[in-house]
Structure formats: C-alpha cells, structure tokens
C-alpha cells in the first residue's frame, strides 16, 4: 500500500561504496553530518567518505528498482540507518559524575516521588517505540520480526528527520496477539508514545484497541491511521476541485484491510453518507446477504443488489483502491460519474495506470502511492506531525478529532502558495493547488509549523491533553 512509497523516500538518491548521497534528505549529504551537531560526539575511523559533485550525484542516482543501490545504502559506511546521539556534555570527570553515578541518583529520587518528573529529567516525552511483529511487511507479507527491522529503522529515521522525534525500533518475536499486547504494555514506562507497524489484519485491530485501553500514552497503528489521514486530506481537496461534497458522494473502496477499514471509519466520522458507500473485498461487494464475515467487514456491509466491482462503480464519484494492480478497467472508469476521483494506491503497480486513466477520462483527479506520479499518498505527511503534536501536549491518546484536525491542516496547506524552498527541493518551477497538486510535499517546512499545533489544539478540546502545548525544539542532528 502507500507505505511502500513511504519507504521509497529512503531511496531517492544512490549510495555506492563511498556513499555519494543519502536518500532521505532529497539532496547530497556528507556522511559525517548525519551523526554530528550539538551534543553528538562521534569519531569516524577508517571510513572513506567522498564529497559528491552534482555530476557524481547524477551518475550515482540509480533507477528506483535498483536492488544493489538499496542494499549499499543500508550497509555503508556503517550498517543500518540510525544511531544514538548524546544531548549532554560528556567531556570531563564532572560531566560523567553528573551523567551517571553519583549525580544520576537525584533524578531517580525525583521520579520515584513524582512519576511526571520522568518527562522533566529524561527523554521519555520525545521518545517513540516503533514496534512490529513482521506479520505484514510492506507488500512482502509475513516474513517475521527480524526481517521487519530495516522498515522500522526507516520509520525511526523519518520521525527524526521530519519532526525531531527520537524513535527506537523494537521487533517482537511473537505473532500471538496477547503476547504482543503484554510485551508492549510492559514497555510503556520507557516511552512517550507507541507506533505500531506492519501488523496484519484483523489482528492489528485487536492489538491496537487493547493497548489504547491498557496504556496511558498514545498508541497509533500507522498502517491504519496514517494512511487514512492522507487519503482523507487528498479526498477533501479533490472533491473541492471537482465541486462535490463528502456527504453527497457515492464512494467505492476496494480492499477492506487495515488501511481500508481505518479510512472508512475516518471518512464516516467526517460526514460520508453510510448509505452511499460500497466496500469491495475478495468476496465481492460486502452486502447484507453475506454471513460469517469478520467484524471489520460486517461493520460496512450495504443493503444493495450490487455484487461486483463493476456493479458498484456505475455512477460512483470516488474510487479508493488499497488492493491489487490493474483491478480497475477502462470500462469501469468510464461508467463512473462526471468528474470522478480515483485513488489507486496499490504498490508498486496501481489498480489502473495513470496514463490509461487519463486517456479514458479527461475530467479525472487521480492519486497513487508512487512518487513518480502527481498526488502521491505518502504516510510521511502525517505520522511525524501527529506524534509531534501529541507528544508536545502529552496527550494520553490520539482521538478521532485529532486525526481530523490533521486532515484539515494538511488539506488547507495544499491550497496555499508553495514556498520557493519546496520548489527547489523538487526541482520545480511552479506548483499550484489543482488536479495535480492536492497534497503538500514531504519536504514542505510548513508541515512542522501547522500540523502539530492543530493536533494539539484538538487534543485540548477533547480533554486528553495533560499539559499546555509547548513545541519541542525543531533543530535536528541531520
């Protein structure tokens, strides 16, 4: 799904034996700069680093499907994508006495007397656990906990890069829901928030719900809610351009898994008419005549005679695909209402190729999960910022209104003039709100300014914020 695209953010530039460029920054970066800055103390030994010229970057920029470039990126100059940075001086005997024994005893006593002081004297308030059991890794399937580690490290990188949130990846070797729930619950004292990742449906619903109930820190399954937030923001803007309203449209969603189910729940919260919704899964249209459906499918059945995707799409305003390649035919697209909206989010190949879709309908607005087409639905537009706002007001949970606030802030930002810095980052001369620009770009610096504040304000309105909103410093070590 769109999370493949989020991972693609890590592979925009190539890395060879000398690591000419670093992907996550969208520009060449010398390797030592990754691990230096205020309070970060590192010495590099026997690492050969070459400062790249523009020509070398162009030559080393591999095609998106370059397997070796991805492997080299993860291996050189040191394995992995994250490391620990020190935030306090550690240069003298006095520093060490304050950092550890005997000085460390003072915050220990303070926290024992008042647990809230953990947010004052430790990094708990800026630390998120990225947790997976490896049961649904991107589009690759159930490959186990260890194989999920590169994805979880990548997620930690994105948290730090875009929101200055420290994150630790934890791969848990169990696929029994209760064992995973118990493990995560027992880790809660260490973290300010929990990001669940790559956990298969329907287990993910049970696991997230149980952890939200059991823990006093926010728990967020990004495969569900991050995807839902970006889809909803893009849809709000697409409907605005097409002069349609959410409460009036007929919507067809294909693929009622983790992301699809969360998307439906969020859109219904925002005003989508339940009677105008058709959900298609492996059995066809989910209708009231079906029995023995999973709970998350039974919740979205329709009282309809529609049985196939073709039936459901006749006259529909919106298609959202979170399923498989080439499911949406030219004939089906032709049968949709005037000025349709198509979000074809299967990765790497969408439900219909944009070239074909636009040749069939010139009144179309389309989004995919890919970075090589306009309107990429990319979770990195949401999860760093919703967590930033949540942590900065110490919200106990992430509510539906906090997600909707994120949706509205994202949608509003895309309608504003695009700063020159964003155009330069993407090598563009211009970018204007319209059919090919319905979502902000990930490197838009206004995201960190707008989204966390909107999320925190919603948390305060919902009564889950435990402190006033205080933005965390935005300076990062990269």
In whole angstroms, give the CA distance from residue 66 to residue 81: 18
Q: Residue 17 corresponds to which tokens in the numbers above? A: 């034996």
Catalytic pick among 81, 124, 155, 160: 155
Do 237 and 439 form a contact (C-beta atoms < 8 A)? yes
> Angle 383-392/400-414 helices, nearest 10 degrees?
120
E strand map for 345-456:
365-368
- In SS3 terms, 166-221 reads as EEEEEECCCCCHHHHHHHHHHCHHHCCEEEECCCCCCHHHHHHHHHHHHCCCCEEE
For residue 132, which of 140, 123, 122, 121 has the smallest C-alpha distance?
140
Do 195 and 385 form a contact (C-beta atoms < 8 A)? no
- Placement of tokens 């010229």 in the chain: 53
Whole-Å CA distances, 325 to 328, 347, 369, 458: 8, 8, 12, 37
Catalytic pick among 100, 121, 245, 426: 100
Do 330 and 310 form a contact (C-beta atoms < 8 A)? no
Q: Residue 61 corresponds to which tokens in the numbers above? A: 């920029």
Q: Is 100 a catalytic residue?
A: yes
Q: Residues of 2-37 as b/e, b for ≥16 C-beta within 10 angstroms?
A: bbbbbbbbbbbbbbbebbbbbbbbbebbebeebbbe
What is the DSSP pairing of strand 277-281 with strand 251-254? Answer: parallel
In whole angstroms, give the CA distance from residue 43 to residue 25: 22
Edge-to-edge strands, sheet with 318-321: 284-285, 277-281, 251-254, 318-321, 341-344, 365-368
- What residues are annotated to the active site? 100, 155
């Amino acid at each position: 799904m769109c999370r493949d695209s989020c991972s693609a953010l890590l592979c925009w530039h190539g890395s060879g034996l000398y690591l000419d460029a670093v992907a996550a920054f969208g520009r060449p970066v010398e390797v030592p700069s990754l691990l230096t800055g205020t309070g970060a103390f590192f010495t590099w030994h026997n690492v050969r680093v070459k400062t790249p010229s523009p020509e070398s970057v162009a030559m080393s920029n591999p095609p998106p499907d370059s397997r070796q470039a991805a492997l080299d990126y993860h291996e050189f100059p040191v394995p992995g994508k994250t490391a620990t940075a020190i935030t306090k001086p550690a240069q003298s005997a006095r520093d060490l006495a304050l950092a550890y024994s005997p000085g460390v005893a003072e915050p220990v006593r303070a926290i024992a007397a008042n647990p809230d002081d953990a947010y004052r004297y430790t990094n708990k308030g800026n630390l998120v656990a990225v947790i997976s059991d490896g049961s649904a890794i991107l589009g690759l399937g159930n490959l186990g906990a260890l194989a999920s580690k590169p994805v979880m490290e990548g997620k930690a990188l994105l948290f730090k890069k875009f929101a200055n949130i420290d994150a630790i990846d934890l791969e848990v070797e169990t696929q029994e829901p209760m064992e995973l729930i118990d493990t995560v619950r027992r880790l809660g004292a260490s973290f300010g928030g929990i990001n669940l990742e790559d956990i298969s449906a329907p287990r993910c619903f049970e696991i997230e719900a149980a952890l939200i109930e059991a823990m006093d820190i926010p728990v967020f399954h990004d495969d569900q809610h991050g995807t839902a937030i970006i889809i909803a923001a893009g849809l709000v803007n697409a409907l605005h351009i097409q002069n349609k309203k959410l409460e009036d449209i007929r919507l067809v969603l294909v693929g009622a898994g983790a992301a699809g189910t969360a998307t439906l729940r969020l859109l219904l919260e925002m005003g989508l008419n339940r009677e105008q919704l058709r959900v298609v899964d492996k059995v066809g249209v989910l209708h009231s005549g079906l029995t023995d459906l999973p709970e998350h499918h039974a919740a979205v059945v329709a009282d309809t005679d529609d049985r196939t995707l073709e039936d459901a799409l006749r006259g529909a305003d919106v298609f959202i695909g979170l399923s498989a390649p080439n499911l949406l035919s030219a004939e089906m697209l032709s049968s949709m209402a005037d000025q349709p909206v198509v979000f074809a989010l299967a990765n790497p190949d969408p439900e219909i190729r944009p070239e074909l879709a636009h040749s069939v309908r010139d009144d179309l607005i389309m989004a995919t999960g890919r970075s090589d087409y306009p309107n990429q639905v990319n979770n990195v537009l949401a999860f760093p910022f919703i967590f930033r706002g949540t942590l900065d007001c110490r919200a106990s949970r992430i509510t539906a209104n906090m997600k909707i606030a994120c949706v509205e802030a994202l949608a509003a930002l895309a309608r504003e003039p695009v700063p020159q810095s964003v155009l330069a980052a993407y090598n563009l001369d211009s970018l204007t709100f319209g059919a090919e620009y319905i979502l902000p770009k990930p490197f838009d610096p206004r995201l960190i300014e707008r989204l966390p504040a909107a999320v925190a304000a919603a948390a305060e309105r919902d009564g889950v914020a435990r402190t006033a909103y205080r933005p965390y410093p935005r300076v990062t070590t990269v």
